């Protein structure tokens, strides 16, 4: 990232998740991918519109500020929380973000508003399985981004 450039995470959820987290990790951290891909053809069914964000959170504000959720998930030390969303609905089969086919997140700073210092990093994305326990690392699907560099004047 130089100047006002910001990385954008583009993702598509095949299933909803009770918790979606994006954390900044060191570029040398050994984050492994647990998500699976299939080459099989999938038939998509019509599905109703789903509520994407509940109006009342079941977690306290302090849980968001100082999260108790799997901070050292998969033995990968996180440098800070970038995004945390609760009860995220699955994406549709539409080809555009506006129609719900995929979602995007621009990464500008840590979730608490702190600037990301210059350096080399990766973004670790974790989605809690539908019936998963947020304290158990095996209940998350995880993906790590390619390396990105933050370089501001």
Q: Is 61 helix (H, G, I), strand (E, B) or coil?
A: helix
**CB of 92 within 8 A of CB of 47?**
yes
- Could you give the C-alpha distances from 90 to 48, 53, 58, 94, 127, in angstroms and in order? 11, 12, 20, 12, 11
- The model's pLDDT over 26-45, given as tens digits with 9 standing for 90+, comes to 999 876 655 444 444 434 33
Q: Is 83 helix (H, G, I), strand (E, B) or coil?
A: strand
| Average pLDDT of span 42-60 | 40
| Average pLDDT of span 39-56 | 40
DSSP code at position 115: P
How far apart are the C-alpha atoms of 86 and 59, rounded to whole Å? 9
How far apart are the C-alpha atoms of 78 and 29, rounded to whole Å? 9
pTM of the model: 0.70
């Amino acid at each position: 990232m130089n100047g006002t450039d910001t990385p954008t995470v583009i993702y598509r959820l095949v299933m909803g998740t009770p918790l979606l987290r994006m954390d900044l990790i060191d570029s040398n951290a050994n984050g492994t991918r647990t998500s699976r891909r299939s080459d099989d053809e999938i038939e998509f069914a019509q599905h109703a519109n789903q509520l994407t964000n509940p109006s009342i959170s079941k977690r306290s504000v302090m849980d968001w500020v100082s999260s108790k959720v799997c901070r050292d998930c998969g033995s990968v030390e996180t440098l800070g929380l970038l995004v945390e969303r609760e009860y995220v609905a699955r994406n549709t089969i539409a080809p555009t973000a506006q129609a719900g086919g995929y979602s995007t997140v621009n990464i500008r700073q840590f979730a608490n508003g702190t600037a990301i210092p210059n350096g080399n990093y990766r973004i670790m994305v974790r989605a809690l399985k539908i019936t998963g326990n947020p304290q158990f690392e095996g209940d998350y699907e995880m993906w790590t981004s390619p390396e990105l560099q933050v370089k501001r004047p």
